[in-house]
Chain A
């Protein structure tokens, strides 16, 4: 089975979907210019040669325009894959996403649908407060949007393909440190999860999480980069000996509640790790869910490990303190025993 990075897997997903369905097209900034990177992180590299500039559409620097065109095209029957260079720029298209894309199907009684995909890189990577946020939680609060966050090459391809075929707007959050450490746009500190990706057609369903590491003593729910830190923490904790189960939710909306509840009812302890600021994150929603539905299975208070409630700092030392570390996850788990 071929191995590839997440960036390569996403590119393959886009290529296959564009080949399969001529309504699918890409729209974004510098995604197809000759001699460019292929978007900010190489995902669309080479696709303009293959599909031409009619289907790999470069726009002026206007995120509101990208989102507005994507919403309009989707209503008109197209299947746009739009992207922003940094997830932080999603704030520029908030009205298009939260007021239009999310609500039109509902407001039209199902007459309209908005089958669009919005890809957004997230994660703190030494670029200061405006190119570093993890924005998944913002969009989990908007009914009508689906939110996915693939952390492996397999999931990246399978979830993006599912997103393209979904009749609802889907936000795909990709982590900058997980795209792959190869190539001109690799980020310092990237961990490059190269994974096997089947050649044959497959989909990863939206709304299904996965157990990355089975364990019996404590459940850690963590997405994107934090999932890898949780796995590393699990190895450290195995010496204590604490047997950690790591769950990658993969989708935040809809959330695989059954998987989490089943795991907690087995382990009795829950830690949620998110790279976003602590307050009102998606982790708080998971904590509330579990304390409601699995209260009598809990053997310790639910813990969240998240960034403190400050903007992502620019200084590398502070950034190191800001992003939840393996050690902080280990400490949180140890405090529950």
Chain B
């Protein structure tokens, strides 16, 4: 019997997804569990596995199509199997016949155990459990690769990570040049395949490289098919991610009563502490950023201000014991906010590691929808982009967000003397429906205290 290829319900919020590409072509043999096609949801690009083993026989949707969840977009059949409707005069096989007559074929046969092929499948995936062959683990261990980096890239039996996946990862690591975020965004907007861009400086593709590539290719390439030229302006078809951002931002703006409280804080000690830690860090460990410190600090302060670690749907205010810290990340597809779960239970090193992994995958588009949900508080840092102060917008249904500005050197007066201090702008936007001015101010003041006296975070 041919097996229908169904669109899985990958998104909680959308009924349609966009088909990005078919990994297999019609006629290719496919094995149950291997990647068959990729789709873009409102959150990420995801791989979809083949529902059965056989040959890919029909494809009913093409890349770029919007496809309905649970609709059929193709079929897999046994080699040589005739698809229904293609040839009329095909009599069913004896097995199929008796099946349609309701006779259980297997019950009348002697017990013959099937040996060799197939076997029972792996248990349902548990969070945190990565299935990898011993050989793959061995190689990854030797090369100092964390298997989390390879998660969902397994091509072995039952999609386990096997040696070839680790080797492919290593090859990709050494082969593909780094791409600066600006270059990546520019390439995406202009429809330039980054694999065709030759970097001027080996190892890194920059904005200038993409521009050069564009000029070389001429204007025809700079207008992708999804954009219809109208005079000098373009109409751009919004990606699902952008549509979601638009919807959620408007929702936040319409429903929340936001007030932003701003403060300038002396971060001299914090930057010193960070430098000291970076010096002591073992090779290969993820380097804690200012954001990582602020995640830690915020978790500590939220413990004293539980009303800010909350979600509010307009009717019910829900306080959360654990801090699921969302971090605003700039990605080629737009703003995403991956979540570090139970952040209050994690130390700085672990926070840095988790943040690094989440940001990496958010940028690459391999992050899962689960990793983008259930946040209880958000931190957004525009300091690295040179912003001193801004008014962050609340990530509903959360009730507060912390905005982090640039750290800059300023002359500061202390005890009648002028000194050079490192100053950072902090802003917290709270939903005034829930959080009044005074508690919001107290929260920010406590954050500032810990930034100024960061040694307290070890307590």
Once the chains are docked, how many angstroms separate the CA of A191 from the CA of B163? 38
Contact yes or no, B163 A331, CB < 8 A: no
Count, chain B residues at interface, CB 8 A: 19
Closest A-chain residue to B116, C-beta based?
Answer: A332
Interface residues of A in 188-232 (CB under 8 A from B): none
Report which residue of B110, B115, B134, B157 has the largest number of chain A beta carbons within 10 angstroms of its beta carbon: B115
Given A268-B135, A299-B136, A337-B156, A278 and B119 touching (CB < 8 A)?
no
Closest A-chain residue to B162, C-beta based?
Answer: A299
Query: Which A residues touch B157, using CB under 8 A?
Result: 300-301, 335-337
Once the chains are docked, how many angstroms separate the CA of A297 from the CA of B157? 16
- What is the minimal beta-carbon distance from B160 to any residue of chain A, in angstroms? 8
Partner of A305, one of B115, B136, B162: B115
Q: Residue B101 at the A interface, CB < 8 A?
A: no
Once the chains are docked, how many angstroms separate the CA of A271 from the CA of B116? 9
Query: Which B residues touch A299, using CB under 8 A?
Result: 133-136, 156, 162-163
Interface residues of B in 121-146 (CB under 8 A from A): 133-138
Q: Residue B117 at the A interface, CB < 8 A?
A: yes
Query: Which A residues touch B137, using CB under 8 A?
Result: 296
Once the chains are docked, how many angstroms separate the CA of A309 from the CA of B110? 11
Partner of B116, one of A303, A321, A322: A303
Once the chains are docked, how many angstroms separate the CA of A308 from the CA of B135? 30
Once the chains are docked, how many angstroms separate the CA of A239 from the CA of B135? 25
- What is the minimal beta-carbon distance from A26 to any residue of chain B, in angstroms? 38
Q: Residue A334 at the B interface, CB < 8 A?
A: yes
Query: Which A residues touch B112, using CB under 8 A?
Result: 308, 310, 321-322
Contact yes or no, A296 B138, CB < 8 A: yes
Contact yes or no, A296 B113, CB < 8 A: no
Contact yes or no, B117 A278, CB < 8 A: no
Given A296-B138, A298-B133, A337-B157, A308 and B115 touching (CB < 8 A)?
yes
Taking chain A's interface residues, is the majority helix, strand, or loop, or is none over half, making it mixed? mixed
Q: Residue A304 at the B interface, CB < 8 A?
A: yes
Contact yes or no, A331 B117, CB < 8 A: yes
Contact yes or no, B115 A304, CB < 8 A: yes
Partner of A300, one of B111, B116, B162: B162
Interface residues of B in 271-288 (CB under 8 A from A): none
Contact yes or no, A328 B138, CB < 8 A: no
Q: Residue A329 at the B interface, CB < 8 A?
A: yes
Q: Residue B231 at the A interface, CB < 8 A?
A: no
Contact yes or no, B111 A296, CB < 8 A: no
Once the chains are docked, how many angstroms separate the CA of A308 from the CA of B138? 34
Interface residues of A in 282-302 (CB under 8 A from B): 295-301
Query: Which B residues touch A304, using CB under 8 A?
Result: 115-116
Q: Residue A306 at the B interface, CB < 8 A?
A: yes
Interface residues of A in 309-335 (CB under 8 A from B): 309-310, 318, 321-322, 324, 328-329, 331-332, 334-335
Categorize the interface residue count of chain A: 20 to 34
Once the chains are docked, how many angstroms separate the CA of A20 from the CA of B137? 56
Contact yes or no, B163 A305, CB < 8 A: no
Q: Residue B314 at the A interface, CB < 8 A?
A: no
Contact yes or no, A298 B119, CB < 8 A: no
Partner of A268, one of B116, B119, B163: B163
Interface residues of A in 61-105 (CB under 8 A from B): none
Once the chains are docked, how many angstroms separate the CA of A303 from the CA of B117? 8
Given A300-B162, A310-B110, A278 and B136 touching (CB < 8 A)?
no
Once the chains are docked, how many angstroms separate the CA of A278 from the CA of B115? 8
Query: Which A residues touch B113, using CB under 8 A?
Result: 278, 308-309
Q: Residue B118 at the A interface, CB < 8 A?
A: yes
- What is the minimal beta-carbon distance from B373 to any residue of chain A, in angstroms? 34
Query: Which B residues touch A303, using CB under 8 A?
Result: 116, 119
Contact yes or no, B156 A300, CB < 8 A: yes
Query: Which A residues touch B138, using CB under 8 A?
Result: 296-297
Contact yes or no, A310 B111, CB < 8 A: yes
Report which residue of B118, B134, B136, B156 has the largest number of chain A beta carbons within 10 angstroms of its beta carbon: B134
Query: Which B residues touch A336, using CB under 8 A?
Result: 156-157
Given A268-B163, A310-B111, A310-B112, A298 and B134 touching (CB < 8 A)?
yes
- Interface contacts beyond A268-B133, A324-B115, A335-B119: sample of 15 additional A-B pairs, CB < 8 Å, sorted by A: A268-B162, A296-B138, A298-B135, A299-B133, A299-B135, A299-B136, A299-B163, A300-B157, A301-B157, A308-B113, A332-B115, A334-B117, A335-B117, A335-B118, A336-B157
Interface residues of A (CB under 8 A from B): 268, 271, 278, 295-301, 303-306, 308-310, 318, 321-322, 324, 328-329, 331-332, 334-337
Going nearest first, the 4 A-B pairs with the smallest beta carbon separation are: A332-B116, A331-B117, A299-B135, A305-B116
7 residue pairs A–B, Cβ–Cβ below 8 Å: A268-B162, A296-B137, A299-B156, A305-B116, A322-B112, A324-B115, A335-B118
